[in-house]
Structure 1
Amino acid sequence: DATDDKTRCYYAETLPNPKLNVFPIKEVSDIGRDLGVPLIMDNTAAPYICRPLDHGAAVVMYSTTKYLTGNGTSIGGILVDGGNFDWEGNKERFPTLNEPDPSYHGAVWTEAVKPLGPIAYILRARVVMLRDTGAAMSPFNGFQAIQGMETLPLRMERHCDNAEKAKDYLLSHKKVSNVIYPSAKEGVFLERANAYLPAGKGSLLGFELKGGKDSGKKFIDSLNLFYHVANIGDARSLAIHPATTTHSQLTPEEQLKTGVTDGYVRLSIGIEHIDDIIADLDQALAKA
């Protein structure tokens, strides 16, 4: 019932926060393939550790501002077409790819790309959408992204290792009522985490303070090593209290629906020495 004649794609995040329940990529992709609907995955929070194209995704996108660049200074994005979806076989869903484009002398994109493969989607995105919006990455931001990607595998390994240890520390803390992390899940959510994140479970880590909103504020204000910003994927450790920042415009009921409680804190664990990370968490929790 969720798919009708107007459906053009399924769109999902590999690791949607704040709940961090890993998305069932293959299961949804299989449904879409039967119906002629591609799955587009935002893999920003899980580069290197998750390979959505291997599980049936048709298109993968990233914010390079996060892990790929790794320094939180350069805005950008990447769109990756897996070349594995039959855009021509589903003409009724994709008229802009299968009907003459007047802005390119009547070119039909699924026909024009045949010598190259089934890449009508990414080619049109490049020569039409990018032309019309002007959303081209600056040369310096491109340089920063390329430099960052050279160390991505090493950084992701450290991010994941540090996050696992921070998770274990928080699970044992008396002021923490709940820890949200893929490897701390149970049942089907843990199964998905192990299936789709074999190389590590990421650096996003959430936890809930028993003291609620006041404790959350005190915790953030007491941090020394962690930076208080809304970004993720920085080499530096980051922290934010969503109830008083990113989700503050929502009602308490709306916040709960998204997974944000008064005492919820989101961490993006960096690549500093784990002893320094835990020491900062420990002293801030003591004051929360």
Structure 2
Amino acid sequence: MTNGFHTIAIHGGYDYLDNHDAATPPIYQSAAFDMESAARGDRLAAGEEQGFSYSRVANPTVDVLEKRLAQLEGGDDAVAVASGMAAVSFALLCAAEGGGRIISPTNLYGASVDAMETFFPQFGVHTDFVKDINNLDEVESKIGPDTRAIFAESVANPSTEITDVEALADLAHRHGIPLIIDNTVPTPYLFRPIEFGADVVVHSTTKGITGHGNALGGVIVDAGHFDWAAGRHPQFTRKELVVSDERNGVWRSFADTFGPKAYIRRVRIKYVRTFGAVQAPFNAYLQLVGLETLSEREKREVATATAIAEHLKTQPHVLKVNYSGLGDTEQRDLVAKYYPNGVGTILSFLIDGNEEHVRRLLDSTRVFSYIPNIGDSRSLIVDPARITHREVPEEYRLRAGVTDNLIRLSIGLEDPEDLIADLDQALATAFAE
């Protein structure tokens, strides 16, 4: 087998010889698995042997998805979870648990900002927000002895602003800090952050990876090259019973037991197993099916998104179009460097009306669906300030350009002419006297 993206998307992580010659990965709809012997059960429970015993920890269908996504992202290992927010939460808490701090911009998906602003502090994890994640001086000024990670979206939702991942990774690594990137918007087809120095990549696989709006999921991919035992992350060198042999007086840490895999194994053993945000095998199956057409969907949807963005720039009542893929912003060099095949399938635009105009526009679309998702094969429309970013403090929302007259689009697989006509008639209806 080659290492080509399209080949991996169809074949990666799966061996039909291990699955009764099934051409596609079976759905292992089983809560638990026979451990075969007491000795093997003990090894499985101790993490000394990889295998399946209980689906809250690992499941064969989910395992294929994890391996395939790790290969597509160029990572070493992955853990799939129940949703994108579970992926973001587990990835950040695992890095910063015990009183650590995270550095992050505010131009993120609303639930991510809310988690870091109001919820993580209840667990002793705090965030130092910066105005511009690409302002390395500003980012560096926030680094302190308890900084445990830097977090950003590769392409911000809904502004489509691009993070300079390579420069940010270099800065993080000079200070012994991992860089965690949410790569949901571009998907690994358009961008692979690990190739530019990211240490951990997360996705809401609900979005472009699944691509059909029919399954929730998330994934955490570990590049496998960050030294979690270097000193900033004491949770990895602390002796823990779950990976030790108390009866024989053998005490180990995650770093002792798993070496460079300490982070991703801690995500699985301490977070997925304990908090229980488990990826369902049927959802994993739907995501595997979606992955097979990821590249073809992204090509078409990016082309349509570009055409729609260009069209909206010419329309009356449209004040501004946010789509960095047009290459008409100060980030054009970053677009050329990181996104030669496009920045993704979402864009947003400002209209020169008030909230009533926004409501009338939203209620007038016939092809676009009013749905708070992205990456679907259907084209979607939403008002972020009221829906996806409702819980974000006003200061952060306005800084990210999420005003009451902002509208976000997620472009699907419909004919671009039909989508453009739908937007035109909706705009006309919204501003009709």
Q: Which TM-score applies when normalising by structure 1?
A: 0.93
| Structure 2 counterparts to residues 85-96 of structure 1, below 5 A | 85-88=226-229, 90=230, 92-96=231-235
1:231 aligns with 2:373: yes
CA displacement, residues 11-62 of structure 1 (integer Å, 9 cap, x when unaligned): 1111112322101111110001111000000001111101100010000011
Native 8 Å contact 1:213 1:243 kept in 2: no
Partner of 2:241: 102
1:218 aligns with 2:360: yes
Partner of 1:38: 178
Return closer, same or farther for 1:282/1:78 CA change in 2, 3 Å cut-off: same
Native 8 Å contact 1:70 1:148 kept in 2: yes
Partner of 1:23: 163
Q: Say what the alpha-carbon RMSD is for the aligned residues.
A: 1.7
Name which of 318, 324, 344 aligns with 1:182. 324
| Structure 2 counterparts to residues 73-222 of structure 1, below 5 A | 73-88=214-229, 90=230, 92-105=231-244, 106-114=251-259, 118-184=260-326, 186=328, 188-222=330-364
Name which of 125, 147, 151 aligns with 1:11. 151
Q: Distance in 1 between matches of 2:390 and 2:193?
A: 32
Amino acid of the structure 2 residue aligned with 1:104: V
1:257 positional shift:
2.6
Q: Distance in 1 between matches of 2:350 and 2:224?
A: 42
1:51 aligns with 2:192: yes
Q: Secondary structure at the match of 2:298?
A: helix
Return closer, same or farther for 1:97/1:240 CA change in 2, 3 Å cut-off: same
1:187 positional shift:
5.1
Q: Secondary structure at the match of 2:147?
A: coil
Native 8 Å contact 2:157 2:185 kept in 1: no
Q: Distance in 1 between matches of 2:395 and 2:233?
A: 38
Native 8 Å contact 1:204 1:267 kept in 2: yes
1:272 aligns with 2:414: yes
1:186 positional shift:
4.3
Return closer, same or farther for 1:45/1:254 CA change in 2, 3 Å cut-off: closer
Q: Distance in 1 between matches of 2:393 and 2:217?
A: 32
Greater Cα shift, 242-251 or 46-55: 242-251
Q: Secondary structure at the match of 2:191?
A: coil
Q: Distance in 2 between matches of 1:21 and 1:157?
A: 20
Q: Which TM-score applies when normalising by structure 2?
A: 0.63
Amino acid of the structure 1 residue aligned with 2:213: G
> Percent identity between the aligned chains?
37
CA displacement, residues 163-185 of structure 1 (integer Å, 9 cap, x when unaligned): 00001110111121100001245
Paired residues, number: 283
Q: Distance in 2 between matches of 1:6 and 1:249?
A: 27
Native 8 Å contact 2:211 2:376 kept in 1: yes
List alignment gaps of at least 5 residues for structure 2.
1-140, 245-250
Q: Distance in 2 between matches of 1:187 and 1:266?
A: 18
Q: Secondary structure at the match of 2:174?
A: helix
1:253 positional shift:
5.5
Native 8 Å contact 2:169 2:197 kept in 1: yes
1:252 positional shift:
6.0
List alignment gaps of at least 5 residues for structure 1.
none
Return closer, same or farther for 1:243/1:99 CA change in 2, 3 Å cut-off: closer
1:124 positional shift:
1.6
Larger Rg: 2
Q: Distance in 2 between matches of 1:96 and 1:248?
A: 34
